[in-house]
Amino acid sequence: MQNSQLSFSGKVWRPRCKVNEHHKQLTRDCGLSPLFTPIIAHRELANPDAVEKFFRPRLKHLTDPLELLDMDKAVARLTKAIEGGEKIAVFGDFDVDGATSSALMVRYFRALNIPLRVYIPDRLTEGYGPNSQAMKTLVDEGISLVVTVDCGITAYEAFETANELGLDVIVTDHHQGREDLPKALALVNPNRLDDPFPNKELAGVGVAFYLLMALNRSLRDDGYFKDREEPVLRDFMDLVAVGTIVDVASLTGVNRPLVAVGLRVAQDKKNIGINALMEIARIKGSLSAGQVGFQIGPRINAGGRLGKGPIGSELLQTEDQERAEEIATQLEEANRERRALEDKMLRRAMNRITEEGLAESGKSIVLAEPGWHQGVIGIIASRISDRFHMPTVIIALDEDGQGKGSGRSIPGVDLLAAIDACGEYLIKYGGHKAAAGLSIESTQVSAFSKAFEKAVVEGNDSELFSPAMTYDGKLQIPDVNIETVGRLERLQPFGRGNPEPVFLIENVRLVDARVIKESHVKCRLADVYDNVLDTISFRVLPGELGDGLMTKGVWVDVVGSLSINRFRNRETVQLIVRDARLAEKFL
């Protein structure tokens, strides 16, 4: 009989996916442990070749960049500009994806000994994406070609201005395009509605890297490197890994080799900007995807969020050690400031949700308030969406009644589609399934909120809104050892689309428990044969999960991920518990 009760954290548990006989046979054919069967099923690996590519990602697995629409036009124009000595600019975004993309372009062109003008708009005064005044500024500086990175697919007005001024624009972007595309010389975006390119999950920095792959090949074919050194594109891939991870792009398809190789490049410590951030974040040894997402990314992002967008890109492109350390220190201070601001806004948002009963009255949350900082609303939306398991839009209103909003979704709910259904109430909007941004008049917030709730409810299965904990398979305590963890590490890097495996261990007793640093709980579990397993749960106190884990002697089921705890030159396996519930035999 399956235990269907709610867990200590109020969730229903269910397998991440269904396993069939094909998955089992494929696991056997590939010589893998049955442990991997549900993982193969979830990643939709259909044959041994797909399994091989997944377990051993290589750059040779990348799709040809010329399969992207307009890539040929973009490369032809860039080649002409390079060979003709034209002045070129890159127009980036102020987030990590944009910062890594612009730094990637600068480093490549520096290797060609070509200066590149970098234009990153001010988040607070210019907002997101290309604008008409920026186009005029670049023309006044003598720029004849602009390449956008991580933006531009909806910059209709800005590119009208560029066309009028005789400024050529190449767009590289990954945000969802619309039927009506802006007028640019080339629009390179796997998410154009008319582009059959199979790898839709590329981050902005991934698209920029694809442009450089195609450009480098074109220059080579033209004999450009006959008398000069050819750049080694692999040397820049640490930037591709950082941007892709922090933008929460799916770590499947071509992103998998891009990130896997990029993290290996990061071990060579060639980028002094990334190294400076690792120093200030006290990261030792090699850089993991988790460390990029939770320690490196927020620091780079902090500058853009607080109106200092260009310094993140400058850090990642600089060759000056002293300047890198100076910027890293500035970003660390900006990150502290961002955290304080975030805490204040989150408390206010949570109070409103409680006072107005928003978590109980629908399937979505929309909050707008004057004075909120638009650089932090995305983080707040993410926190609230995670906390209440609802699509969430947070809107910062300025003194003129104009609002900037940022939205985050939950698995299975297409956020951009829901916002698109409410387009009549918005000034502009854009994004993708998991995250989106919008502009709105304060007078339209109420109508938008109602329309958004309707779109979310009518467009999705009600089951998606039930908080759930998914697990990949079941383990017994004797299965948990160093060898098992070693096998699972072959699946790295972990991230969206390739989550760290989570396992269910049933019918174990809480032998003892203690609190670590006020909010963590360390437990020892034992099965009916007295096999023992050490566990730790992070940031669970105060809270129902923490209280449940502190109840010694009870029988529970737990779900969690395996890790190796290294302490005083000794390695032991531990389970990082994500949730727990009373075991069936205890009920």
Where does a domain end: 428, 444, 465? 465
Same domain, 81 and 33: no
Q: Is residue 339 part of a domain?
A: no
Say what the pLDDT of residue 375 is. 84
pLDDT of residue 578: 96
Statement to judge: residues 473 and 461 lie in one domain? no
User: What is the distance of C-alpha 332 from the center of its chain?
Assistant: 20
Q: What 3-state class would DSSP assign to 528? A: coil
In a domain, 347, yes or no: no
- Whole-number pLDDT of residue 430: 87
Let me know whether 250 and 310 are in one domain: yes
Could you tell me if 204 and 64 lie in one domain?
yes
pLDDT at 4 over 80: no
Does residue 374 belong to any structural domain of this protein? yes
Same domain flag for 447 and 479: no
Same-domain check for residues 508 and 535: yes
CATH of the domain at 384: 3.10.310.30
Same domain, 391 and 504: no
Cα angle 304, 309, 315 (rounded to 5 degrees) comes to 110
Q: Is the pLDDT assigned to residue 1 strictly greater than 60? A: no
450 and 473 in a single domain? The answer is: no
pLDDT in tens, 375-432: 899 999 999 999 899 999 999 999 999 999 999 999 889 999 999 999 999 999 988 8
User: How does the average pLDDT of the chain come out, rounded?
Assistant: 93
Tell me: pLDDT of 61 over 60: yes
192 and 271 together in one domain: yes
Q: Is residue 103 part of a domain?
A: yes
Using the predicted structure, report yes or no on whether residue 449 has a pLDDT greater than 70: yes
571: containing domain: 12-16+468-586
Whether residue 155 is found in the same domain as residue 114: yes
The predicted pLDDT at position 306 comes to 65
Question: Considering 438, 465, 492, which residue would you say is the last residue of a domain?
Answer: 465
Q: How many domains does the chain have?
A: 4
Angle among Cα 292, 562, 15 to the nearest 5 degrees reads: 100
**How does pLDDT run across 97-124, given as a tens digit for each residue?**
999 999 999 999 999 999 999 999 887 7
Length of the chain: 587
State the pLDDT at residue 581. Answer: 96
511-523 pLDDT, tens digit per residue, is: 999 999 999 999 9
- In b/e form, how buried is each residue of 349-371, taking b as 16+ CB within 10 angstroms? bbeebeeeebeeebbbbbbbbee
Nearest to 154 by CA among 130, 133, 135: 130
Indicate whether this model's pTM tops 0.85. Answer: yes
Instruction: Give per-residue pLDDT as tens, 256-304.
Output: 999 999 999 999 998 999 999 999 999 988 899 999 999 999 999 887 7
Residue 2 has pLDDT above 60, yes or no: no
Examine the fold and report which residue of 331, 348, 372 is the final residue of a domain before the chain moves on: 331
Would you say residue 349 lies in a domain?
Answer: no
Whether residues 45 and 69 fall in one domain: no
User: pLDDT, tens digit, for every residue of 319-346?
Assistant: 999 999 999 999 999 899 988 999 999 9
The pLDDT, as a whole number, for residue 584 is: 83
Cβ(560)–Cβ(535) below 8 Å: yes
Shared domain for 145 and 247, answered yes or no, is yes
Please determine, for residue 305, whether its predicted confidence score (pLDDT) is greater than 80. Answer: no
Q: Is residue 367 part of a domain?
A: yes
The CATH number for 267's domain is 3.90.1640.30
Strands (E), 303-388: 365-370
pLDDT score, position 564:
87
